[in-house]
Structure 1
Amino acid sequence: MKTTVNVLLRDDLRTFAGYQSARAASLQGEVWLNANESAWANAADDDARLRRYPQPQPQALRECMAQLYAVAPEQLLIGRGSDEAIDLLVRAFCAPGQGRIVIATPVFGMYAVCAKLHGASIIDVPLVDSDAGLCADVPAMGDAALTQNATLLFLCSPGNPSGELLSLEAIATLAQRLRGRCMVVVDEAYLEYADAPSATALLSGHDNIAVLRTLSKAHALAAARVGCVIGSRELIDALRRCQAPYPVPQPVAAAALAALAPQALASTTSRIGTVREARQQLQAGLLHLPVVRRVYASAGNFLLVRFVDTDAAFAALLAAGVVVRDMRAMPQLGDALRITVGTQEECSRVLAALEAVREVAA
């Protein structure tokens, strides 16, 4: 029986080997003259490590991230944040100018951007705004994928900007419906803040699930650009062949390894707990402000907030030196801002600035 990856992978990529870099071959030696590198280090390179190309997939970091996410190293491909993983998936499973993806807006914009740049069609099944929150209609997304022959369906859990956390049961049911027809990509960039199980737990039973993780958010490495896609070994092999050589610079790999050391991980865990408490306090504080119309429950490190007077709220925050994300250009969010949960002092500054909008809202 063919796997979903084998069925859906672009025909022209089935025998495509990709670029074979000088570091891809498992060769041993003392004098390295196979990559046309400089024989001398740059004067600014104090430890003389930068003149050599890095490993395409740094083995130590790959093993460390695999342990972090409780998967085998062969199930994980490191890239330049989750953004590169999204791009690789679109390239691998959407024929240029012909492919289709399913998304649920408002959602993280890179799914649509990558599809647009590749010439793939975007099938939007909008989030449903209800008392329960701004929620994905997962069955309807599955219907759209089947009826319009989409090969990729993107779920964001926790949702950005909705904050919605999807259940593993809903994801598993969807993946079962779409097996052999469509890949289900679960973006878990904010999962650490949800204290919930990962969709990686579903990989053994569903060959059409791919999971995106990143070190940018909870692990505070946004500038390093380290993320990964997790899935079957067959999926990882296919995506690796589509990836440009040397995606992880050596200094970045070293920084990521240091950030995943036991002491650093303990600090990260503590700060995640602090964010969860601050999120609850910020939500409670916002709900008492006259200028606030609605605050959505969130499993991420942010809150989506609707305002009575969004212009006044945004201006007041800027006047107080606080920069938040203006969501008004996104579908359904014409009165909304997204506020990251910062330190206690930063959250207090947000509340104080919005408290000053009391008279305008009245």
Structure 2
Amino acid sequence: MNISNESPLMELVRPDIRGFAGYNSARREGVTGSIWLNANESAWRNPADAGLGANRYPDPQPAVLRQRLATLYGVRPEEVLVGRGSDEAIDLLVRALCRPGQDAVVIAPPVFGMYAVSARLQGAPLVEVPLRDGAGGFDCDLEAMASAAVSSGAKLVFICSPANPTGQAVPVADLLALARRLAGRALVVVDEAYGEYSDQPSLAAEIAGQPNLAVLRTLSKAHALAAARIGCLLADPALVAVLRNCQAPYPLPTPCVQLALAGLSEPALAATRERVQAVRAERERLRVALADAPGVRRVYPSQGNYLLVRFDDAGAAFARLLEASVVVRDMRASPQLGDALRISIGRPEENDAVLAALQAGRAAA
């Protein structure tokens, strides 16, 4: 794919990657025909193939899926890179922008662990600016993050909003101000994996006017397609082109693409919107009920489909939930969360099971 060297973002890309053409797979050559003998595929379908055509390599970036995602998120198709969940985009960003041992990555823990994992695998210095835990919940110290990015020479700043596992959303105006301050220095990546559950609008529409801003989205959460592993990066077209050249040749399996397209149909989207509202209602119901549950010290407000809860004895609470066949996320190994569990919002009867298990602890006491 051609890359515009005129984009200011190219200065943030590793010099050795700027002209990197990547692997020119058989499906990137742009040729058409009816007899395909260019990719060393099998001419016969597998006996178990019920019409998928899985004997042929898939389109690396299906145009119809890019267009549908662009429409969903309010951007242009050329601003969309589709990949294997958000994780692949995180890894591609770190590999393409950060020189090992030189270009840092800034994060605000406790936060989604894949930012740190990708930085470590690349050998990129990791700069941590801890979240602040206040009366209203956790919040990002964006001023400190900006200063840390400048002083460390960071190329990437990852901000999760709504934040996993802490639940807060960062105001759009504050994120835009951060991106403007770091223009020419670093790419600000806002992870909106839980954006559908939030009161706050997406920053996707701001990308065209702020090229050093990028947004991560996924179909794994609100769209209920976690097993399909479809996510996307919304970014300046020049950056999208760079990352496509760094991406594996065939990242999107045909069955996953077909499932994603079906899941983004108008009837499916209407059902998703209804379920999002149901989750938001259950989130509030569970938040109020948990605050009165035995052993609960604090329930944090959340803009995601989960609640972060502090316990007098998180280990005992975790064990009681497991005894009731309820599996939640143990956060005790995370910084500042040594007494906390993260509880995803389930169906009403599943949320009732959480409350019943915790109430059983009161009866046992």
What is the TM-score of this pair, normalised by structure 1?
0.98
**How many Å apart are 1:310 and its aligned residue?**
1.0
Equivalent residue letter for 2:280: R
Instruction: Note if contact 1:4-1:181 (Cα within 8 Å) is conserved in structure 2.
Output: no
Q: 2:123 aligns with which of 116, 119, 124?
A: 119
Instruction: Note if contact 1:4-1:183 (Cα within 8 Å) is conserved in structure 2.
Output: no
1:21-36 matches, cutoff 5 A: 21-36=25-40
**How many Å apart are 1:6 and its aligned residue?**
1.2
Q: Matched residues, percent identical?
A: 57
Alignment partners' CA distance in 2, 1:307 and 1:28: 61
The answer to whether residue 153 in structure 2 is matched with residue 149 in structure 1 is yes
Alignment partners' CA distance in 2, 1:168 and 1:46: 46
Report the counterpart of residue 72 of structure 2 in structure 1: 68
**How many Å apart are 1:359 and its aligned residue?**
5.8
Instruction: Note if contact 1:76-1:236 (Cα within 8 Å) is conserved in structure 2.
Output: yes
Q: 3-state SS of the aligned residue for 1:347?
A: helix
Alignment partners' CA distance in 1, 2:204 and 2:262: 24
Alignment partners' CA distance in 2, 1:103 and 1:128: 13
**How many Å apart are 1:294 and its aligned residue?**
0.2
**How many Å apart are 1:135 and its aligned residue?**
1.2
**How many Å apart are 1:204 and its aligned residue?**
2.3
Equivalent residue letter for 2:306: F
Equivalent residue letter for 2:211: D
Q: Cα distance 1:48–1:329, how it changes in 2: closer, same or farther (>3 A)? A: closer
Alignment partners' CA distance in 2, 1:201 and 1:22: 34
Report the counterpart of residue 190 of structure 1 in structure 2: 194
Q: Cα distance 1:48–1:315, how it changes in 2: closer, same or farther (>3 A)? A: closer
Alignment partners' CA distance in 2, 1:278 and 1:144: 38
Report the counterpart of residue 314 of structure 1 in structure 2: 318
Alignment partners' CA distance in 2, 1:90 and 1:326: 27
Residue-by-residue CA offset, 1:13-63 (whole Å, 9 max, x unaligned): 111101000000111111110000011111111225000000010111111
The answer to whether residue 11 in structure 2 is matched with residue 7 in structure 1 is yes
Alignment partners' CA distance in 1, 2:199 and 2:294: 31
Q: 3-state SS of the aligned residue for 1:273?
A: helix
Equivalent residue letter for 2:155: T
Report the counterpart of residue 96 of structure 2 in structure 1: 92
Instruction: Note if contact 1:176-1:206 (Cα within 8 Å) is conserved in structure 2.
Output: yes
Backbone CA RMSD of aligned residues = 1.2
Report the counterpart of residue 170 of structure 1 in structure 2: 174
Report the counterpart of residue 272 of structure 1 in structure 2: 276
**How many Å apart are 1:312 and its aligned residue?**
1.4
The answer to whether residue 340 in structure 2 is matched with residue 332 in structure 1 is no
**How many Å apart are 1:132 and its aligned residue?**
1.6
Report the counterpart of residue 49 of structure 1 in structure 2: 53
Q: 3-state SS of the aligned residue for 1:357?
A: helix
Q: 1:304 aligns with which of 295, 305, 308?
A: 308
**How many Å apart are 1:90 and its aligned residue?**
0.2
Instruction: Note if contact 1:4-1:182 (Cα within 8 Å) is conserved in structure 2.
Output: no
The answer to whether residue 85 in structure 2 is matched with residue 81 in structure 1 is yes
Q: 2:349 aligns with which of 338, 345, 352?
A: 345
Q: 1:241 aligns with which of 225, 230, 245?
A: 245
The answer to whether residue 42 in structure 2 is matched with residue 38 in structure 1 is yes
Instruction: Note if contact 1:100-1:151 (Cα within 8 Å) is conserved in structure 2.
Output: yes
Residue-by-residue CA offset, 1:177-223 (whole Å, 9 max, x unaligned): 10000100000000000132101122122110010000000000000
The answer to whether residue 334 in structure 2 is matched with residue 354 in structure 1 is no
**How many Å apart are 1:357 and its aligned residue?**
1.8
Alignment partners' CA distance in 2, 1:288 and 1:174: 38
Q: Cα distance 1:18–1:60, how it changes in 2: closer, same or farther (>3 A)? A: same
Aligned length: 361
What is the TM-score of this pair, normalised by structure 2?
0.97
Equivalent residue letter for 1:305: V
Equivalent residue letter for 1:99: D
